[in-house]
A and B are shown apart, each in its own frame.
Chain A
Amino acid sequence: MILTIFSQVGVLHLPLNAVWLSSLFFIIGGGPTTGTTLLTTVVADVVPAEVRSTVFFYRFCTDLVADLIVPPITSILMHKNTWIPLLLAVAFQGLSVIVALGLPETLPVVDPKRFGEDADVISSESTRSEQAEIPSKSDGRWGSWITRNKGSFDFVIKDRALSALVFTFLNSKVGRQAANMLFQYVSKRYGWTLAQVSLYSLDPLVRMPI
């Protein structure tokens, strides 16, 4: 099998571009977007509403801690061999699969009492969208699926604070992508090796206290 892939990549004459095929694997499970979202959902499921924002800060602070500590280590490893951090990264990602297997199922059991509670919270926060937010979980037909999704879009668009929030997320995402591009740019502009650039990415140090 390896031999056929060999010859195919050779025939295509686009060897490095073959890495684009790796995106195909995101079809399994939807990739990192689904991953982060679901992890956040699980946290939201477990934590009571009063302390939710605090716990969310902790949850995203861990991201920053990892962003702070790991790049210097990456830098050291890259000096030895580029393949060491790469293979380690895959190993860590594999480890996260194992950790995820250990997670308990947190899908809230649909019980009428909690439902009422949730609806109360929503109606007190926003006036218009309570109709859309009560999901019909037992109803699995296609039509209801579309109305349900339309409902959740309306929920985002109608509430102005929520739209603003979503837009902020978009902005911060653009910022992150730009930071990834920065690796290459800084390295070329100042003639540093990529290992050095990785060492100097200190922006989590600024963001963490915030």
Chain B
Amino acid sequence: MLLCIVLAVVSDVGESLYAAPRVRLFESVACTRYYLRHDPSLVDRAGSVPERLCKIDSVQDKVASVVGWQYFFDAIPAILLPIPYGYVADLRGRKWILVLALVGYTLSWASTLFFVRITNVLFTI
């Protein structure tokens, strides 16, 4: 029981840590990309642009569309898969399905960072 609560806390801490920085991360990438095209002098040598310059429509539109579609794509497996996985969990046990779900969740975050990292590197080259 206590372990359940611990699990919930740890996972939620992760979630809260992730939400805002992810938006900032997408924003910084979209922003750098925009200024490389329009005014490269504002991009510093590390490939970043001051955040206040990023609050312009074309950058924000890009971020909103990336985040919005991300929710859309996230929702597809979230709608389809709980039914079979729930069935298996009722049949074979909850623990391993729970572990599997958390592994998938972790990997999806890690891969997001991985993709953005690559994107960043590509920009600075």
List residues of A whose CB falls within 8 A of some B CB. Answer: 5-6, 9-10, 15-35, 37-39, 41-43, 45-47, 55, 58-59, 62-63, 65-67, 70-71, 73-75, 77-78, 82-83, 85-97, 99-107, 135, 137, 140, 145, 148-149, 177, 180-181, 183-184, 187-188, 191, 193-195, 197-198
SS class, residues of chain A in contact with chain B? helix
| Most chain B beta carbons < 10 A, residue from A21, A31, A41, A106 | A31
**Contact in complex: B90, A66 (CB < 8 Å):** no
Q: Which residues of A contact B64 (CB under 8 A)?
A: 181, 184
Q: How far is the CA of A75 from the CA of B16 in the complex (A)?
A: 11
- Interchain nearest-CB distance for B76 vs A (Å): 7
> Which one, B25, B28, B33, B76, contacts A23 given CB within 8 A?
B76
> Which one, B17, B67, B121, contacts A184 given CB within 8 A?
B67
Pairs A–B under 8 Å by Cβ, sample size 19: A18-B118, A21-B111, A27-B77, A28-B100, A29-B101, A29-B105, A32-B101, A33-B81, A34-B82, A35-B105, A42-B94, A93-B106, A96-B11, A96-B106, A99-B6, A105-B94, A184-B27, A184-B63, A188-B55
- Interchain nearest-CB distance for A106 vs B (Å): 6
Q: How far is the CA of A129 from the CA of B24 in the complex (A)?
A: 49
Q: Given A25-B104, A31-B77, A105-B93, A62–B17 Cβ distance below 8 Å? A: no
B interface residues, tally (CB under 8 Å)? 84
Q: Given A22-B108, A41-B89, A93-B105, A15–B118 Cβ distance below 8 Å? A: yes
> Which one, A77, A100, A188, contacts B95 given CB within 8 A?
A100
Q: Which residues of B contact A66 (CB under 8 A)?
A: 9, 12-13, 15-16
In the complex formed, the residue of A with least CB distance to B108 is A25
1/0 contact string of B87-104 vs chain A (CB within 8 Å): 101111111011111111
> Which one, B19, B26, B86, B106, contacts A90 given CB within 8 A?
B106
1/0 contact string of B51-79 vs chain A (CB within 8 Å): 11001000010111011011101101110
**Contact in complex: B78, A88 (CB < 8 Å):** no
**Contact in complex: A85, B17 (CB < 8 Å):** yes
Q: How far is the CA of A73 from the CA of B83 in the complex (A)?
A: 36
**Contact in complex: A31, B81 (CB < 8 Å):** yes
| Most chain A beta carbons < 10 A, residue from B5, B101, B107 | B101
- Interchain nearest-CB distance for B25 vs A (Å): 6
Q: Which residues of A contact B77 (CB under 8 A)?
A: 23, 26-27, 30-31
Q: Which residues of B contact A16 (CB under 8 A)?
A: 26, 29-30, 33, 62, 66, 116, 119
- Interchain nearest-CB distance for B20 vs A (Å): 4
Q: How far is the CA of A29 from the CA of B98 in the complex (A)?
A: 7
Q: Which residues of A contact B109 (CB under 8 A)?
A: 22, 89-90, 93
